Structure formats: C-alpha cells, structure tokens
C-alpha cells in the first residue's frame, strides 16, 4: 500500500488535486488530504498544492505547525509542488510588499511587469496570466516521461519564480517574457501550472509522480 499525502493548509483547490490523483492511482494507492504532521511524514509521497497569496500561505503553514514538516518531506521523499506550492519553496516573494518563503530552493518570486504586449497581435497582456500555454521542457526528467515537448498546461498566476541556479530549471513558458514554470532538484519537482486542470498532459505528469521514486 502506498500513501500520497496532499498537504491541507486551508488554502487552494485541494479536492480537485486529490480527485485527479485518485483518478489515475492504482488500487494499492491511497490519496489523503491531511494537515496532520504525522500523516504527512508517514506518507510515501507528498503533494503541496495551493492558490492565493504567499503571505497567507506562509502564515497558515506557520499557524498549523507545518513549516518544518514541509522541509522534512522535501528532504525525505518524492515531493510535488503545484502553483503556490512552487513559489513558497523559494527564498522570497515580491507579493504583499515582500514575503519570506521557505528557502528550500534558491531564488525569488517576481510579479509580471505591467505593460506586457503580445508580439503577434500587439494587444496588451492581462495579469494574471490565465489559461492554456505551452511548456517547453528544458531538461529530461521522469515526470516529463510520455509528455510531448511544448504540451499545453493550464495556468492562473500573477507571479513567477526566478531561480538563481539554472540547473534547477526544468521547464519554461512564454507570456510577454520567458519565465520558469517548472523546477527540479533531487526528489523535488514543482510546477507553476495546474496539472489537475491540464487534461491528458496534466494527468500524465501526476501519473508519473505516482510512479517516481525520487531519483533522476
């Protein structure tokens, strides 16, 4: 029996992530949405999803006693971050006038600049970046297995990650500017897009995660 813990810190679309995982999981895999430190640390794999503001996310993690739990899960087992679950892994964010992150991955989180323009149409680009966009895989990874280069995934965000170590970049997307949409280091893989909302490509990524042993 394999257990996948989806971290519940009171924010985000946890149920849709859990349902997507349940949809592609084999009968021997249990998906559990939980805020229990013990259950998270007992799980074989951990998913850290989320939406909303970085400051609120960090406040809830602190309030629920989950900061050290997340850091331990990152050290010890296959770990998938989704959307806010990517951004707060970095050291800091420009959001809310400046917010400290968990400092697990080196780099910062920046807001898309105002005044971005679509180079083809000349139309102003809206913030947040919302909808389907292509993901260009920048290095091989087990979670990309079977997913075609430049497949489309679903995004909803106004901020993007700016890592300081280029070897941790696993995917990029273009929206006014090229931005990093996936990072990978050791047993950690984290994405800005929402695989649970990304049809076949997203389900393929989640299925790859459920089979991944954390090695690259």
Give bridge partners of residue 169 from the DSSP assignment.
Answer: 183
Task: Kindly tell me the burial class for residue 9, based on how many C-beta atoms sit within 10 Å of its own C-beta (0-12, 13-18, 19 or more).
Answer: buried
Give the whole-angstrom CA distance, residue 209 versus residue 203. 10
Determine the Cα–Cα distance for residues 42 and 171; give it in Å rounded to an integer. 30
The Cα 32–Cα 95 span in angstroms is: 30
3-state secondary structure at position 71: helix
190: Cα separation from own chain's centroid? 4
C-beta separation of 111 from 94 below 8 A:
yes
- For 30, 144, 186, the CA distances from 206, given in Å and listed in that order, are 14, 10, 17
Distance CA 81, CA 92 (A): 16
Annotated catalytic sites, by residue? 83, 194, 196
């Amino acid at each position: 029996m394999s257990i996948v813990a989806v971290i519940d810190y009171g924010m985000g679309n946890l149920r849709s992530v859990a349902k997507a995982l349940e949809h592609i999981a084999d009968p021997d895999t249990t998906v559990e949405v939980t805020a229990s430190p013990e259950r998270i640390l007992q799980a074989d794999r951990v998913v850290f999803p989320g939406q909303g503001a970085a400051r609120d996310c960090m406040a809830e993690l602190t309030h629920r006693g989950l900061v050290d739990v997340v850091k331990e899960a990152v050290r010890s087992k296959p770990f998938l971050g989704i959307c806010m679950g990517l951004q707060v892994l970095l050291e800091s964010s420009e959001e809310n006038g400046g917010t400290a992150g968990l400092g697990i991955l080196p780099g910062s989180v920046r807001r898309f600049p105002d005044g971005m323009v679509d180079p083809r149409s000349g139309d102003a680009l809206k913030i947040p970046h919302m909808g389907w966009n292509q993901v260009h895989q920048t290095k091989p990874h087990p979670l990309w297995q079977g997913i075609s280069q430049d497949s489309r995934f679903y995004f909803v965000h106004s901020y993007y990650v700016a890592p300081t170590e280029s070897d941790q970049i696993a995917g990029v997307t273009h929206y006014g500017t090229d931005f990093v949409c996936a990072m990978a280091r050791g047993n950690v893989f984290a994405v800005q897009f929402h695989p649970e909302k990304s049809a076949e490509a997203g389900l393929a990524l989640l299925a790859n995660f459920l089979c991944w042993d954390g090695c690259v």
